[in-house]
Amino acid sequence: MNILNLSLQKSHFHSLLEYSKSGHTVYSNYMQYTNYDESFGIKILTEEENISFATQYQKEEEVVQRVTDLIYKYEIDILQVGMPGLSYLHTHFDDKIKYIGPPEAASKLETNKIYSKNAAIFSGVKVPETIKRGKYGDTDYATNLRFPSVEKPSHIWGPASVFYNEEDARIAREQVLNQMYPRYDKEIEYYIDEYIIDLMEINVFFAISNGSYVITSTHEIIGEGLNKTVEGNIWFHDCYFKPLEPKVDAIVRREASKYLEYIASLGGRYEGTFASAYTPKGEWKFLEMNARPDISNSSPTFMTGDEYLKGLFEDISLFEKAWKNINLQKLVVQAPAGVAYPMHIHDKYNVAYPNNLQIHDSGEYAGSLVGKGHITGTIIADHNIPLEFIKEFEETTSWRFNEEPVR
């Protein structure tokens, strides 16, 4: 079949990879370098055809026509959409073509965080206390706060920022004056939540189809909060992923299921994620949702492309079966800028390829995001990664795996 993918960054990388391996023809939009994706047979839209991040701010009727033109031009059988601002495409195309993506009601749970928090409360799920709301242009923005606290834009796709002290609040107010992202518009609404001391930050991954859901995996991410600064986010820099203890995992899955029951009832076929907190009191609290795979999209599907499609369109239990005995390991590896990435070691030990790489003209692979003098956050994820793989990685290259920080 011919599949058209419209997603943020590389958030559907592993499903596209499996579609291509299963013999389907995959067309995809792009937001960054494309040669890594193309090396797996994925066809990238031309610059004139591309549905970019900015497309989400164009007129709906114009975008619908552009997507319609692509469907006819490439004789598309399946449309896969993971851009929150284009969730209206579900309304236009779900009854006309096989469609993967959330309906508008589910996507709103990502794009309107206050609405999502209220829906979580309605579902019987705990959330952090909101201590202040308003607009960036309000005269009392980022004043009279207790520190630390967590600020987020309410209705745009933007990152959380931790205000650790009054200096952070001052910088945020200055960013409003200088119209800096995400505080570039004084009319944008924000909210400020309590900061939960000594929390475990937990990600929950799930699939939804035909009114049902499956939780595929969970993990703790350590150190990510330290990267959510008022001056910018550097994703996965110095982070460490850790499996949950069985007792904690059981609580997380039980509480997350309360919200997923409601979300699944909204319809759609897609993978999504929860960001959440597990408190020292043993409580699970919902933080926010992505109605799409996360941008790092680091984990393999553990399904063929055909199985993945069947799981979304016919039998969601295939996701449960695929993940049932998976001992998922996620390792973050970094290196100084300019150091080639050793893809051959993946081939030698049959470890799944990472997302978000690029290929230089020389043919060398390289990490993609540079920050703090390092390639930031290349994540290696697979079932039972061999110790020999890790050892050869560090003994023969300049890449180093992040270690679990002392808490």
Q: Using one digit for the tens of pLDDT, what is the confidence trace for 321-344?
A: 999 999 999 999 988 777 899 999
Residue 209, by phi and psi: left (phi above 0), alpha (psi -120 to 50) or beta?
beta
| Separation of alpha carbons 86 and 80, rounded Å | 11
Q: Over 50: is that where the pLDDT of 374 sits?
A: no
**How do the domains of the chain map onto residue ranges?**
2-101, 129-194, 327-407
What pLDDT does residue 32 have? 78
What pLDDT does residue 237 have? 65
Residues of the chain with pLDDT > 90, as a percent, come to 80
Of 332, 323, 334, 381, the closest CA to residue 353 belongs to: 381
Equal fold, 2-101 vs 129-194 = no
CATH number for the domain whose boundaries are 129-194? 3.30.1490
| Separation of alpha carbons 264 and 208, rounded Å | 6
Coil, strand or helix at 383 = strand
Of 105, 128, 136, the closest CA to residue 196 belongs to: 128
| Separation of alpha carbons 291 and 188, rounded Å | 22
Residue with the larger pLDDT of the pair 297 and 120: 120
Alpha helices in 74-141, H assignment, sequence order: 88-93, 104-111, 113-122
Q: pLDDT per residue over 128-137, tens digit each? A: 999 999 999 9
Rounded to the nearest 5 percent, the helix, strand and coil shares of the chain are 30, 30, 40
**Phi/psi of residue 91, each to 5°?**
-65, -35
At residue 53 the predicted structure's pLDDT band, cuts being 50, 70 and 90, is: confident
What mean pLDDT comes out for the span 187-203?
A: 94
CATH number for the domain whose boundaries are 327-407? 3.30.70
**Which has the minimum average pLDDT: 15-29, 61-75, 86-100, 167-181?**
167-181
| Superfamily grouping for domain 2-101 | NAD(P)-binding Rossmann-like Domain (3.40.50.720)
Residue with the larger pLDDT of the pair 259 and 10: 259
| Separation of alpha carbons 1 and 313, rounded Å | 14
**CB-CB contact of 203 with 275 (8 Å):** yes
Kindly write down the DSSP assignment for every residue of 125-183, as one continuous string.
-B-PPEEEEEETTSTTTT-S--SSEEEEESSSS---EEE-SHHHHHHHHHHHHTT-TTS
What pLDDT does residue 345 have? 98
* Assessment of whether the complete model's pTM goes beyond 0.85: yes
Residues of the chain with pLDDT > 70, as a percent, come to 95
What mean pLDDT comes out for the span 69-96?
A: 97
Structure tokens at 42: 């994925």
Q: pLDDT per residue over 243-262, tens digit each? A: 999 999 999 999 999 999 99
| Separation of alpha carbons 254 and 37, rounded Å | 37
Q: pLDDT per residue over 102-127, tens digit each? A: 999 999 999 999 999 999 999 999 99
Burial label, 101 (beta-carbon count in 10 A; 0-12, 13-18, 19+): buried
| Separation of alpha carbons 395 and 49, rounded Å | 44
